[in-house]
Amino acid sequence: MPIMRQISKKARIGCKVKIGPFTIIHDNVVIEDNTVIESHCVIGYPTPLAGNKPLVIGHGSHIRSHSIFYEGSCFGAELSTGHAVIVRENCTAGEGLQIGTHADIQGDCRIGDYVKTHSEVHIAKESTIGNFVYLSPRVQFTNDPYPPSFVCEGITIKDMTVVATGALLLPGITIGLGCFVGAGSVVRTDLPDLHCAQGNPARVFARVDQFFNPKHKLAFPWIHNFRKKYPLKSYPLMQETLEQIYTRLEQIKRSVTCRKCHSLT
């Protein structure tokens, strides 16, 4: 029995690409070498919002079944998804992006390298996410401060920030470099670099270097706890980002020390 699938002759498909049954590949699509696209996917869904830009899927990617990718987005090498993922138009992402099952990325988003998003994460339109950001299950971005309206205020999350399960991020906020947001938090205002916040509304409770889990003996920087989960080729960028974090941390410590000295004089 022939495999039922629909692949446009206009699509540009690289070497050793595997496409599962009942998948549709539209015209305006580039799929690079050694990519796997499982069954029941829609790749390059047409939309005028894409401005005729193609959907580009980087080499070595793996898109699991029942996922939909609109045209106009561009993904670096080794994109990996769970099942039933939706990604809208005009998104760009670096290497090694992981998108969890039932996750939803809206249009016009900018995502860095080696970002991990887990199941049922919703990333709102016009969001910006840095390198090595870690979004736990059911993290929700919002972008409309006066719903329903035509106002769109995207969220910015800087490098190596962790957002724990079920956090709600309100429109227009910036979460700084290397931050940690606790589970179930509602983040209403900007968070400064290298701080931990928790609650509704989320409030800063510690600097990241003061955050320690005595039960599991885990401490900042969190990425060392599962460094082996990242590919070796990511290590130079990881080290560069960590050096930026340590430099910024020393600046913050000096600032706190200066304020204490001034208060004593």
pLDDT tens per residue, range 10-31: 999 999 999 999 999 999 999 9
Q: Are 100 and 86 in contact (CB under 8 A)?
A: no
Which is nearest to 185 in space by CA: 136, 148, 133, 145? 136
What dotted CATH number matches 149-265?
A: 2.160.10
- The amino acid at residue 11 is A
Q: What are phi and psi of 219, to 5 degrees?
A: -145, 165
Place of tokens 């560069």: 240
Q: Are 205 and 223 in contact (CB under 8 A)?
A: no
pLDDT value of residue 1: 46
Please determine, looking at this structure, whether the domain spanning 1-108 carries the CATH number 2.160.10.10.
Answer: yes
Whether 1-108 shares its CATH topology with 149-265 is answered: yes
pLDDT value of residue 36: 98
pLDDT value of residue 184: 98
In DSSP terms, 42 is beta-bridged to 24, 68
| CA separation for the pair 158, 176 (Å, rounded) | 5
| CA separation for the pair 40, 10 (Å, rounded) | 20
Place of tokens 């998104």: 91
Q: pLDDT under 70 in the chain at which residues?
A: 1-3, 256-265
Contacts of 252 by beta carbon, 8 Å cutoff, 6+ apart: 193, 194, 207
Give the start-to-end residue ranges of the domains of the chain: 1-108, 149-265
| CA separation for the pair 206, 136 (Å, rounded) | 20
